[in-house]
Amino acid sequence: MRFGFDNPLPDSVDADAVVVGAGPGGAAVSRILTGGGLRVVMLEEGPPRSRFRPSFAHTAKYHMQEGASMLVQGSVPFPVMAGRGVGGGSLVNSAICFRTPENVLESWAESLDDDRYLAQNLAPIYDEIEARIGVAPVSEATAGENNMVIARGAQKLGLEGGLVRRNAPGCIGCGICNYGCPVGGKGSVDQNLILDAEDAGLRLQADCRAEALLVDGRRAVGVVGRLHHPDTKAPGAVVRVRAKLVVLAAGAIGTPRLLWQDGIARDLGPVGEQLLLHPGSGILGVCDHEVHMWKGVTQGAYVWDPQLPEALPHTITAPPEALVIQSGRVGLEAKQVMREVNHLCGLGMMVSDRGVGSVRASRSGRAKLRYEWVPEDVDVLKQGLVLSARVLLAGGAREVFVTAFGAGRHRSAEGVAAELDDLPLHAFQLYSAHPMSTCPMGLDPETSVLNPAGRAHRMDGLYIADAGVFPSSLGVNPQLTTMALATLIGRGILQERG
């Protein structure tokens, strides 16, 4: 059953478990807990259903945390995006579904001393989730020319890559996944995992921002949330959910922000101290033929070079007005981009980072983010952009230019490489949409917040089941692994309860 601002839950509710956040992690863990017979209440800050319109301003208001205005400070400022609403980030992401690389999972299993995290042991959970959310390779019929340029380039260079696997079984290739899905073709978790949990008895209160945990001694016993009007943000009634288990799944920014706002973060260990972001930038190519970057599957192709495993280039998909902004050009150069807009293709270059970041909460409850780049990650960014230039040129572009201020146009990857040697980090247009690892699992309470079961080291009854639990950077889009690990954590909770 689903509740909103106008039809809320009673002001006091009892449950076996309360879950904060209705994104990939919260949906997956709730599906398992309700399926195991637990009475579960879920609190979600965003709206109860998709408020889709083909407008970034509209999406930012209803389906992005803090109105898409989160900005990290540190080495250089850049925006960080995170979703909200029933479906969370899966409402507004590109539906890309990678499994975490085997070497990363092997390192997790070793550091956690837990073989459940080995690739072969997680494979059945990945299989289960992929089947339920509709993961399949992108078809050439809906891919669009932008993605096909990348696929051809990867094939010509003999690199791993091509069309990606996505949870969008009804995709028609309209290219606006980041605003939401206009036809219901994306397998966002509101279309599957949340429905499963609701069928098993989940009570879901949307339009409700969690403000504090209820704590009895050293045990979490519930959550206090406050309703907010979805349009005006005016505060409404308070909802108190008392429960035997508290599962935080508000995302790798939302969860530590809540714990710091509540004043209990210091008691739980290094909460918010290991923010990783998969930061990146982009490169655009100019083709002689028309591409129409905004047509076809959103971010439907990728490239991977085993010689540069920390880099993951994948397609940029953007409407014409966003392309001009993303190009980093102004004045006459921006006018040239506008004339060429039908002929542009592009790759975004994502870094599997080792930088050092943090999450705190301001007095107003907004996230305070810091992030410091390390030189190794800057090198990967630049090398990855050179790799991306090679792919675009091999796939059909006649010239390329990095989305950085002061960057020129080049007809060879060597020209890009020479230019990037001296280009400072602050010249790049940087971006992140994959916050993670802010409440990591580990064996040592001094360096981790959770044990390998997702349970807090220093507070009984408290679990976390979002991308914040990752011990390290994935190097790939995180939504599928978030669902897989939340499923594993949920099953562990049921086993602990007998």
Annotated active-site positions, please?
A: 434
Sign of torsion, CA 456 462 468 471? positive
Residue 144 has φ and ψ, to the nearest 5°, of: 85, 160
Burial class of residue 263 in the structure, from the number of CB atoms within 10 Å of its CB (0-12 exposed, 13-18 middle, 19+ buried): exposed
What whole-number distance in Å separates Cα of residue 276 and Cα of residue 204?
30
What whole-number distance in Å separates Cα of residue 400 and Cα of residue 392?
8
Q: Token digits for 173?
A: 């290739």
Burial class of residue 226 in the structure, from the number of CB atoms within 10 Å of its CB (0-12 exposed, 13-18 middle, 19+ buried): middle
Q: How many CB atoms lie within 10 A of CB 6?
A: 11
Q: What is the CA radius of gyration of the chain?
A: 22
User: Which residue shows structure tokens 């014409």?
Assistant: 320
Largest CA distance in the chain: 68
Contact present, 292 and 342 (Cβ < 8 Å): yes
What whole-number distance in Å separates Cα of residue 151 and Cα of residue 326?
22
Interacting residues of 119 by C-beta distance below 8 A, sequence separation 6+: 99, 100, 102, 105, 106
Q: How many CB atoms lie within 10 A of CB 402?
A: 29
Q: Would strands 311-315 and 367-372 be described as parallel, antiparallel, or unpaired? A: unpaired
Residue 225 has φ and ψ, to the nearest 5°, of: -130, 160
Contact present, 276 and 355 (Cβ < 8 Å): yes
What whole-number distance in Å separates Cα of residue 178 and Cα of residue 174?
11
